[in-house]
């Protein structure tokens, strides 16, 4: 693998998020230096335009392949150690690329927040990826790295400090300034449309263990309601990304061999504050969430959202908005004996774009350079299981994330 011409290829580099990934790699690692990378997409003219607009040297390789062209994708992935893909929704545009990586032994990272597609792909890809040595790692952006690694970090600290795992962990979004990406919204709409075609997906989406084939754990909390959290000592409301993040956390736990116990509980919500004002905010947000879910189930509503609400191709927050965004997630856990431990994960950019582009780029480089096949063999992984604390340390050093324990 080390003899391949590229360490990584950014597939979808002409899209808004892919362009940000390319810009980050250029700013951080340059061209033709320690990281050998390339940009790929379906139009050579657009790739050239993005390269020139970003001020990137003409020495940067530009590779052409369409997401539906199997032959071109096989040729593409054979040239690199890792593929970064930002071309979603993955259930519509990702099947051929991930299959090509699994067959060729090429590592793969994406920004997938589509649990139905992931649940379908895990059994399909596990055998060929294990045979070829390809590490397929879904969800390497804001969904689900801060949450997945936040739990791994807190559990590690609990074992070090308390000598026991936390049987219950609450992930609570404390602050978030910025936007979800247009890709996240498009993926949600694509998932709802898939449910309309196949009602059996409702069961998958509602199953916290949907990404852990063959495992049935304890009943998990209902995170779709307003609720007072005794551990966080504040009111909480539903968090829109919890349905994917919680599934990834449970898959990480299973892939690591259930070190926190097969009765492990994980809940993920938003903090709304204390007292009556916090309660009012929580109940209002819970009502709005229910209304939004009902509306998203209606085909004409989804069509209107696609037409008028989603960012157009190439659109997104400007540089000032991305760089002044931030987020903070509180994690509070409890051992079987009642001891508690808390930590925060902070990001220094807006979640959907500014932070995500750094997270996926550094995940790809971590997989390529710091995690060998003996540590993480071929297969379908989560960030927390494939790279764990190795990635946590890298993100803290390079990608603007901060993991910190809180004192009592």
Judged by average pLDDT, the poorest of 16-20, 184-188, 380-384, 388-392 is 184-188
Measured distance CA(339)–CA(158) in Å, rounded: 9
Residue 32, phi-psi category: left (phi > 0), alpha (psi -120 to 50), beta (remainder): left
Name the pLDDT band for 315 (thresholds 50, 70, 90): confident
The partner residues of 83 in beta bridges, in order of sequence, read 9, 108
pLDDT at residue number 389? 98
pLDDT in tens, 318-370: 999 999 999 999 999 999 999 999 999 999 999 999 999 999 999 999 999 99
Q: CA 35, 39, 44: angle at the middle one, nearest 5?
A: 150
Average pLDDT, integer, range 226-240: 97
Query: Is the pLDDT score of 185 beyond 80?
Result: no
- Asked if the model's pLDDT at residue 1 lies above 50, the reply is no
Q: What is the pLDDT of residues 36-64, one digit of tens each?
A: 999 999 999 999 999 999 999 999 999 99
Question: CA distances (Å), 240 to each of 5, 188, 293, 346, 406, in order?
Answer: 40, 10, 10, 18, 26
What pLDDT is attached to residue 48?
Answer: 98
133: left (phi over 0), alpha (psi -120 to 50) or beta: left
Residues 6+ apart with CB under 8 A from 293: none
Confidence of residue 382 (pLDDT cuts 50, 70, 90): very high
Angstrom distances, CA of residue 345 to CA of 145, 249, 396: 10, 15, 10
Helix (DSSP H) and strand (DSSP E) numbers for the chain: 16, 14
- 89: preceding bond cis by omega (within 30 degrees): yes
Return the beta strands (E) in 164-238 as ranges: 166-177, 227-229, 234-238
Token pair 């397929």 in the structure block, residue: 136
Give the predicted TM-score (pTM) of the model: 0.95
With a pLDDT cut of 70, the percent of the chain lying above it is 95
Q: d(Cα 329, Cα 346) in Å, to the nearest integer?
A: 6
Q: Would you say residue 267 has pLDDT above 90?
A: yes
Alpha carbon distance 117, 327 (integer Å): 27
| Position 305 confidence tier, pLDDT thresholds 50, 70, 90 | low
Averaged pLDDT, 267-276: 97
């Amino acid at each position: 693998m080390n003899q391949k011409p590229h360490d990584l290829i950014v597939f979808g580099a002409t899209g808004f998020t892919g362009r940000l990934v390319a810009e980050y790699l250029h700013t951080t690692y340059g061209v033709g230096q320690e990281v050998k990378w390339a940009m790929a997409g379906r139009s050579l003219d657009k790739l050239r335009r993005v390269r020139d607009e970003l001020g990137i040297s003409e020495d940067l390789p530009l590779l052409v392949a369409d997401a539906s062209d199997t032959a071109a994708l096989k040729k593409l992935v054979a040239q690199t150690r890792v593929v970064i893909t930002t071309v979603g929704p993955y259930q519509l545009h990702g099947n051929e690329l991930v299959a090509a990586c699994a067959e060729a032994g090429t590592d793969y990272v994406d920004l997938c927040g589509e649990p139905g597609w992931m649940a379908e792909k895990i059994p399909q890809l596990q055998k060929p990826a294990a045979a070829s040595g390809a590490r397929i790692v879904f969800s390497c952006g804001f969904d689900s790295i801060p949450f997945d690694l936040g739990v791994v970090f807190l559990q590690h600290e609990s074992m070090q400090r308390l000598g026991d795992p936390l049987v219950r962990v609450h992930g609570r979004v404390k602050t978030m300034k910025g936007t979800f990406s247009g890709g996240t919204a498009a993926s949600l709409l694509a998932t709802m449309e898939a449910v309309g075609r196949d009602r059996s997906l409702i069961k998958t989406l509602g199953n916290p263990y949907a990404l852990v084939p063959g495992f049935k754990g304890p009943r998990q909390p209902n995170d779709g309601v307003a609720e007072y959290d005794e551990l966080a000592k504040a009111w909480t409301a539903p968090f829109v990304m919890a349905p994917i993040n919680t599934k990834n956390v449970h898959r990480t736990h299973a892939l690591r061999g259930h070190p926190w116990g097969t009765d492990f509980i994980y809940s993920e919500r938003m903090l709304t504050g204390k007292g009556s004002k916090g309660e009012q905010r929580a109940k209002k947000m819970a009502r709005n969430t229910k209304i939004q879910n009902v509306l998203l189930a209606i085909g004409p509503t989804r069509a209107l959202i696609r037409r008028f609400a989603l960012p157009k191709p190439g659109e997104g927050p400007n540089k000032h908005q991305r760089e002044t965004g931030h987020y903070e997630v509180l994690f509070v856990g409890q051992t079987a004996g009642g001891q508690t431990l808390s930590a925060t994960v902070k990001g220094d950019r807006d979640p959907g774009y500014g932070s995500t582009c750094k997270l996926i780029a550094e995940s790809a480089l971590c997989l390529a350079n710091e995690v060998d096949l003996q540590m993480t063999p071929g297969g379908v992984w989560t960030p927390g299981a494939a790279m764990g604390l190795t990635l946590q340390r890298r993100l803290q050093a390079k990608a603007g994330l901060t993991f910190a324990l809180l004192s009592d």
